[in-house]
Amino acid sequence: MTKFGPGGGSSPHHHRYNHAFCFLSGAGLVQLGEHCWETKPGTFVKVPANVVHSLTNLGSDELVFLVIYDPPHMATD
């Protein structure tokens, strides 16, 4: 489980593997390549390998989400 505080997030980056985000609480913004989506609890976003992406907490509460790796592995980056 990952949490970003209000105003927090990640810089644009990419990974060598597919993964997905499942948002549990809070309001956020996902940038995936040239596209952006607002998130809310229940939003599921698939991120293909090598696609630049970033996340931003847009709300006043924590943005809480799960990261699902494909194939499953222990994250090191």
The third-level CATH classification (topology) of the domain covering 2-70 is Jelly Rolls (2.60.120)
Q: In what order do the strands lie in the sheet with 28-32?
A: 35-39, 28-32, 53-57
Question: What pairs with residue 67 in β-bridges?
Answer: 21
Say if residue 48 is exposed, middle or buried (CB neighbours under 10 Å; 0-12, 13-18, 19+): middle
pLDDT on residue 71:
78
Kindly report, residue by residue over 46-57, the tens digit of the pLDDT.
999 999 999 999
What φ, ψ does residue 12 adopt, rounded to 5°?
-55, 135
For residues 4-11, average pLDDT: 98
Q: Which residues contact 60 (CB under 8 A, 6 or more apart)?
A: 6
Full-prediction pTM beyond 0.85? yes
